[in-house]
Structures are given as C-alpha cells and as structure tokens.
Homo-oligomer: A and B are copies of this chain.
Amino acid sequence: MTAGHNGGNRLLGIVERIEELEAEKAEIAAQISDEKKGAKSAGFDVKAINELLRERRMSKAEREERWAILETYRAAVGMLDGTPLSESARRRLSGEEPKPETPDASDTDETPAAPPPPLDLDAAREAGRAAARDGKRILDNPFVAGDPRRAAWDEGWCAYTGSDGMEVPPAWRRKKPGKGDGKGGESGAEAGGEPGQGASGEDEGEPE
C-alpha cells in the first residue's frame, strides 16, 4: 500500500490484485445486468434470451447432438407431443455419422425438378422480411413443410417483426402462467387411449 506498493507483503499483494480484477469483473457484470434489464423493459423475455445465449455458446454440432439425444429420450418416455423426431435424431439412431456435411443438396435430390441452390435461402429470407413489412402473417409462409426455404422465410419474417422502429410483439413476451397444473401427465399416455395429440401436427405444414 505504500510505495512500489504494499511493503513486500506477498499475501497482501495477491489479495489486492485479485480485488482489482474482481472490481473490473463486477463492473462488467453490472453492464450485462443493465443490458438485460433494458431488454426486459422493452418487452423481451429475459429467460429466453439467456437460453439463446447458452445455445449460441455451443457449436452447432454439439447443439445438434444434444438435441438429438434429448429428442430420443423424449420419444422413449412418450413425450414427443406430436412432434416427430428431427432428421438429425434419425441419423443418429441409424448409426450414420453426425452429418455428412453435404454442401450440395444430396438428400433432397429425390425432388427431381428443383435442387434448390443455397441462394434461394437468402431470397426466401428476404421474401419473409418483405412479407412482414407488408403486414402479412407468419401463416402466409408459402413454402411447404419439407422445404428448407420455409425456415429461411420464417427467419426473415421474425427478424423484420422484431426490428427497430417496431414494438416488440406481444407474442414475444411471456405471460405469467399463474401456476400451471404442474405436470403434463404424459406418462399416462402409454396407458390411456387418448394421447394428447392436441399437438396434432406440430410442424407438418399446409402445402403452400
């Protein structure tokens, strides 16, 4: 604490150094907190943002692997709720290696007519954005379920809808559930005849 600084006191030196660093860290943490508070008061669901951040921290491959396993487990206990397994889960279960990384449309080649070039995706995204701008609804997505451009269109639509100049739509914010029933009761699905297929088509998609 004196000159060089603390008078040759090793422990004090360590402690003070750490305290400085922790002060910096606390400052950053406060900034993060502020940012989230701002997001919250703008109408965003902070919890979902946290989840999003967590997902972004993992690589895509890891994300997919974990997701595939989880889906499989859900299926095994009867909790799919009407959503079929995703392709990556099917691939895993078939013993195929994670992902052939087919830059070209290898698995869509059964669609003889149009091997949709990647470019299409950007176009679809832009179309979605434009649609949102024109006041179209998300239901107006023109692409069918299996079409990769369907997702791109969705992305464009959502990106525009949440863009600045616009209010955060009510659907983006979480309404307090007022304490749900607590259990989905999926385990009964096995026994009971009626499988809450309320889920019905989870993402089947109407044909354009």
Interface residues of A in 175-208 (CB under 8 A from B): 175, 177, 180-208
> Which of B11, B68, B75, B145 is in CB contact (< 8 Å) with A154?
B75
Copies in the complex: 4
With a CB–CB cut-off of 8 A, which chain B residues contact A168?
Answer: 10
Q: Is the CB of A187 within 8 A of B16?
A: yes
**Interface residues of A toward B: which range?**
35 or more
Interface string of A109-124 (1 = CB under 8 A from B): 0100000111111100
With a CB–CB cut-off of 8 A, which chain B residues contact A25?
Answer: 25, 28-29, 32
Q: Is the CB of A163 within 8 A of B7?
A: yes
> How far is B121's CA from A131's CA once the two chains are assembled, in angstroms?
37
Q: Is the CB of B90 within 8 A of A201?
A: no
> Which of B36, B122, B188 is in CB contact (< 8 Å) with A195?
B122
Q: Is the CB of B49 within 8 A of A21?
A: no
Q: Is the CB of A170 within 8 A of B95?
A: yes
A141 to chain B, nearest CB (A): 7
Most B Cβ at <10 Å: residue of A14, A84, A201: A201
